[in-house]
Chain A
Amino acid sequence: MEIYIALKVLWAVLLGILLTGLAVMVGMDMGVGVLLRLVGKTDGERRTMLNIIGPHWDGNQVWFILGGGAIFAAFPTLYATSFSVFYVVMILLLFSMIMRPVAFEYRSKVDATKWRDTWDWAFLISGALPMIVYGAAFGNVLEGVGYHYSWTGQYFQDESFLGYLLNPFAVMCGVMSLSLAVYQGGTMLMLRGEEPIYSRARTYATLGAVVAAVIFAVGGVWISHMNGYVFTGTVDPGMAATPLGGPAVAAKAGAWLNNFHAYPILWLAPAIGFLGMIVGAVALQLHMKIVGWWLGVLSWVGTISTVGVAMFPFLMPSSTAPAESLTVWNATGSAYNLGWMTFFAAIFVPAILSYTSWCYYVMRGKVKVETVVNDPHSY
């Protein structure tokens, strides 16, 4: 039983790592997509920007697919419920995510202004929308989502999707996630781009970091006043993974700060996030690009772990049937399944990290406009 609890916690942590990896790697590409028309003024510049992430976007996008697969396997009930409850938003996210690879591969294959302009807009939309949805999903989950289950485990939705789209807190979280993506993408452009891309990217990246820091601060105050969720019944962390028949849960204002009050060391998480953004903006102004990139990673780590720590053990509380809220204790896969998943993750995550770094190493160096335009393989 203790092993099962340990596995549940381990996979909650891995979920956090996965969401962070996704935010950093996919977010970076999304940021470049959003900046494509703002930073790139000529076609040559835009192609250079695309080729900066060109050899890697495909691998980065897999973080997204792996995210889907890992949540499916490690948190089946969470996957089944959250993807369906957020249906309209998820479908919009999917539409943008499937537009991107196509835009990458097709944009520069035809030399016509209209064709390329169309795909440029596809990059902008498909870069901005998923990041907004990504952040907004965190916002919605923090506020609680309306759903309940029938005895067979089928979920039923108790709220209209409009409630998730037109929700000031969620929209604010979405803008923050977009800003961090712009920060990360802009920094990547600084790392591998030359003038004039470099200077323009620097302006937008700094702006992204500052906006994110401001929203993070406002969001902190907001969360301390809004409803959080707490167990009122006795909790057995080793319980069978079903949302039905679990302990009672209540919504209380400010409850998301409970964990921080209980363990003040946890304040480190928001501190890291906040400092990452502020120091990151300063670093970029000082032309410290590599430091800036890693501070961008820290910003994501800090932000996502703040949300995770605040909500733990809740994953997606139900506002209409709080006792059926999905938590780390009741939404995971079986111990056997988590064991195998851990085995595969232990082998392949280090492998993935090492060959991904190797690929970045092989493709290192500045990307020049002339080489991109003259190379028949480039995007």
Chain B
Amino acid sequence: MGTIVKFGALAAVIVFALFLAVVAGDYGPWYFAWLVGTTMIILISVAGAVMFETQLTINEDRRL
């Protein structure tokens, strides 16, 4: 039951995201760009931090 609910919720989010993308893409190309761009900015910044941790671990391994 829990899985079905999770699936349903995920499906709803995806449908909503698609709907938003279609509407924004059709009527508001710049709004669409903001949605995609901001997500990208956050992801790049998060990836930078994760990479920092990886660099640190490699560092540690070399020192040992």
Direct contact of A and B (CB under 8 A): no
Task: Give B contacts to A, CB under 8 Å.
Answer: none
